[in-house]
Structure 1
Amino acid sequence: MNSYLVRWDIDLDASDPVDAARKALAIQRDPWSWATVFTVHGQHQGAPQVATVDLDPEGLDPSGSGAPRVELAG
């Protein structure tokens, strides 16, 4: 099993850091959220690797169970 750092970024307006975190959490937990793009950091054959993974590139299924698009950085 490999270890990965997975990041999801969002820009939003909020009154303070706690409000921002609560808004982001609500979006993550919404089963119909279209927040399906992640940056994944890991190792591949001993070398660092960064990939952008879109779990719904066609914008058709926010569940993320469709065919993903993976783009490797650099």
Structure 2
Amino acid sequence: MPEHETTSPYEVTWTMDLDAADPVDAAREALDIIRDPTSWALIFDVRGNGQAVTVDLDPDHTDPSGQGTPKVTPAP
């Protein structure tokens, strides 16, 4: 990041529904999914800097790296 660029604090959440034996098992399954480099878990709710948006890092479902053109919409 360039030295002159400022940053702001953001709260970023990623939500998923899954079945598990207990809360710890659910958290471990979610961690496995989000750490998987081929995961398509690319939609995040972002709050901060006076805004709340949903960011889809791969709206066309063509690039799981998340480096494509994102879609940003107001959060519900």
Q: TM-score, normalised by structure 1?
A: 0.90
What is the match of residue 52 of structure 2? 50
**4+ aligned runs moved over 3 Å, structure 1:** none
1:1-74 to 2 correspondence within 5 Å?
1-43=7-49, 48-73=50-75
**Cα shift at 1:52:** 0.2
SS at match of 2:24: helix
CA distance in 1, matches of 2:31, 2:75: 27
**Cα shift at 1:49:** 1.1
Distance 1:3-1:68 versus aligned 2 partners, 3 A rule:
same
Consecutive unaligned residues in structure 2, runs of 5 or more? 1-6
Tell me, yes or no, if the aligned pair for 2:45 and 2:75 is still in contact at 8 Å.
no
* Percent pairwise identity: 59
What is the match of residue 3 of structure 2? none
Q: What is the number of equivalent residue pairs in this alignment? A: 70
CA distance in 2, matches of 1:3, 1:60: 30
**Cα shift at 1:27:** 0.4
**Cα shift at 1:41:** 0.4
Q: TM-score, normalised by structure 2?
A: 0.88
